[in-house]
Structure 1
Amino acid sequence: MPNVALLALEASDGTVVLTSITLVFAMLIALCLIIMIEGKIFDSINHKPAKPQAPKPQKAAPKAPPKPAPNPQAPAAKAENGAIPGEIIAAISAAVASVMGEGAVIHGIRRVAKSGKGSRRGAWGDAGVREHTTPFM
């Protein structure tokens, strides 16, 4: 004999479910409206127009004669005996200073020998493999 208590549903059960679903969706819509209104308030505070305005045409000013093109720079000098050129050292030093700060000290710059194995990863991939496979000290 089936359990009669499980099969009996009251009319209030359906009402509770429908009320709950309606309340959840109403709150979601209210939250969307609140966020949208806040966005418009903050845009008006920041004086940002909602739509970009077309640029206004300016009066034609007398055109100045074009400046002559600067002399082309000489290509970076090749360093003899496989040394690193000074321009490359300056660029590396500037990059280190911008990342590490002005107090950074560079102890040496050397070329990394190309691997004779013909790695498919390239120099950066090989450096990553070496870094992550070196045992911790």
Structure 2
Amino acid sequence: MPNLALLALEASDGTVVLTSITLVFAMLVALCLIITLEGKLFDLKNNKPAKPKPQAPAAPAAKAAPAPTAKPAAPAAKADNGGIPGEVIAAISAAVATVMGSGAVIHGIRRVSKPAAGSRRGSWGDAGVREHTTPFM
């Protein structure tokens, strides 16, 4: 016959459990409020306009200098590799060198063809799905 004294719960056991659960949830709510308040304070600090510097009174100009004429910007040069501009290739090369180090070698840069049917997620979403659904090696 089982010992019934071990199965009996006292009233203080329930009080301890309820107090513990209440305390845990109260602390979680307090942490959420503290983190939200910190976020608001940092947003206010980042959005604060800079104090304008006092400007010295400008000396009267005796003679106005003619404004220099701006030359029109040259159009981006087209590369032989699928019509990717040189600036884009330079930006990709700089990003690869920053992430992989100066010893990285780029063998080629090409455009990825768009799928015929099209995806609702777009190319970034498809890349994320491919990355997170490939099996571990």
User: Larger RCO: Structure 1 or Structure 2 (Cα < 8 Å, ≥ 6 residues apart)?
Assistant: 2
TM-score w.r.t. length of structure 1: 0.48
